[in-house]
Chains A and B, each alone.
Chain A
Amino acid sequence: MIPADQDLLSAHAAGDTSRLCVLYHQAALASDDIDAACFYATHAYVFALECDHPSRSEIHAFLIKHGREE
């Protein structure tokens, strides 16, 4: 469980992609483990792409830095 679990479930249920991007991004930033952080950042990036979120480039750069994206 991560702190934002209930918020995430609500955002998923509502199909609120912008909120999903924000919540997954927060989870990534809060994670001490790089693999866990990249997992959450992956989700944040997908939803950022879908809704053309302003943080898209930042998340993309994070994933590239850790060799997870091209």
Chain B
Amino acid sequence: MAHLTDLSRVKKPLGTANGLPNAHYIDPAVFAEERDALLFGQWAGLAVAADVPEAGDAKPITFMGMPLLLLRDRNDQVRVFQNTCRHRGMILVEEPRKIEGAIRCPYHSWCYSTEGKLVSTPHVGGPGQNTHPDVDRSTLGLLEIRSHIWRDVVYVNVDGRAPEFEVAMKPLMERWAEFERPLYHGGADSKFVLSVKSNWKLAVENYCESYHLPWVHPGLNSYSRLEDHYNIEEYGAYSGQGTLVYRQLEGSNGAKFADFKDLDAKWDTAAEYLSVYPNVLLGVHRDHAFAIVLVPKGPEETEENIHLYYATPETDAELRAKNTEQWKVVFEEDIFVVEGMQRGRHGVNFDGGRFSPAMDGPTHCFHDWVAGKVSERRAMANAAE
């Protein structure tokens, strides 16, 4: 079977490899292939638990065309369901809202508990007859999607075939084991959304390398020079960059955020930024963290959901607002880059580009992972034929 793209040059060593072919950024057929291989087949970021802070909170999310429902159940467990009634396939929840009791389908009023159990099938056996021997409610609960929360990010494995989350993410979780502390979302002023006209992978690629910092974020040059950064490359797992000169933000009254407890002294001035494959971008510092969940809206459109976290439930409001603004400026500075690279991929003679052997390791690491997962998927499809 002919493959959609040739990935042989992507899998070469860093110094001689090409980047992913254009089709991986602009072709709907490859977008669909990557949906199965990279997003549904792995642990993909969907949202954050803070999106549903109270029991009964429900938020519908369309993820790669699939209608999902993020829900905090009565027992405070965050779950992800297919947002689809088991009766006639109607969408159950249209807008974010509080589920007071049960989820009632707006079509024929089949009702589900927040744990996903089918609890009512009105008139299913005829008017006023709400049971029927052929309709076994215990087999018709909402279809739950495998999910896992780490650092407040809700990850989903739609096809159910990925290794356990702790196994799949072991290298990353070990790297940041020191940061396994309670973290608190900063609230309404600590989140924002950026919509970019770009394939989601370009946001990953741009995020994980420091090569662009002095050119795209000149404001960082004053204290965070290129040589203060280091590459992070864990092939097959994650990549990113670190800095050795992190400086805490100070408020007008000299206030600073509290630190996460018991960190090694190296974190006094260090910070790290990792692309968690496929679509989550995380950052850690001694006194705050952030998560960016990339939700692809199409081959050339992505929603970036940014959330900031702190070590304590209460933080200084002025300082928090300043921190949000600071990061917003940085992430907005990246928009022209990812959108420019997207447009550049309509140049039919572009060959995927080349990498700086010294600076682009983290990006190559991601391309190598993409090529590997897509190739595995193609091999499975071939074997099935």
Contact = CB atoms under 8 A, between A and B. Distances in A.
Contacts of A52: 100-102
Interface of B: 100-102, 104, 109, 111, 119-120, 122-123, 127-131, 137
B121 to A, nearest CB: 9
B366 to A, nearest CB: 45
B131 A46 contact: no
A32 interface: no
- The CB with the most chain B CB atoms within 10 A, among A38, A39, A42, A70, is that of A42
Interface of A: 17, 35-36, 38-39, 41-43, 45-53, 56, 63, 68-70
A63 B123 CA distance: 12
B306 to A, nearest CB: 33
B103 to A, nearest CB: 8
Interface SS, B side:
loop
Contacts of A46: 104, 109, 111, 120, 122
A67 to B, nearest CB: 8
B55 to A, nearest CB: 11
B243 to A, nearest CB: 50
B85 to A, nearest CB: 14
B128 A70 contact: no
Given A46-B122, A47-B104, A50-B101, 12 more contacts: A17-B100, A38-B129, A41-B128, A42-B122, A42-B128, A46-B120, A49-B101, A56-B101, A68-B129, A68-B130, A69-B131, A70-B131
B122 A51 contact: no
A50 B129 contact: no
Given A39-B128, A68-B128, A70-B131, A48 B101 contact: yes
A38 B125 CA distance: 13
A50 B128 contact: no
23 contacts: A36-B128, A39-B123, A39-B127, A39-B128, A42-B123, A43-B122, A46-B104, A46-B111, A46-B120, A46-B122, A48-B101, A49-B101, A50-B100, A50-B101, A50-B102, A51-B100, A52-B100, A63-B130, A68-B129, A68-B130, A69-B130, A69-B131, A70-B131
Give 9 closest A-B pairs by Cβ, nearest first. A52-B101, A38-B128, A39-B128, A49-B102, A50-B104, A49-B111, A46-B109, A42-B122, A51-B100
Contacts of A36: 128
A69 to B, nearest CB: 5
A41 B129 CA distance: 11
A49 B56 CA distance: 13
A3 B129 CA distance: 24
A20 to B, nearest CB: 11
A39 B127 CA distance: 6
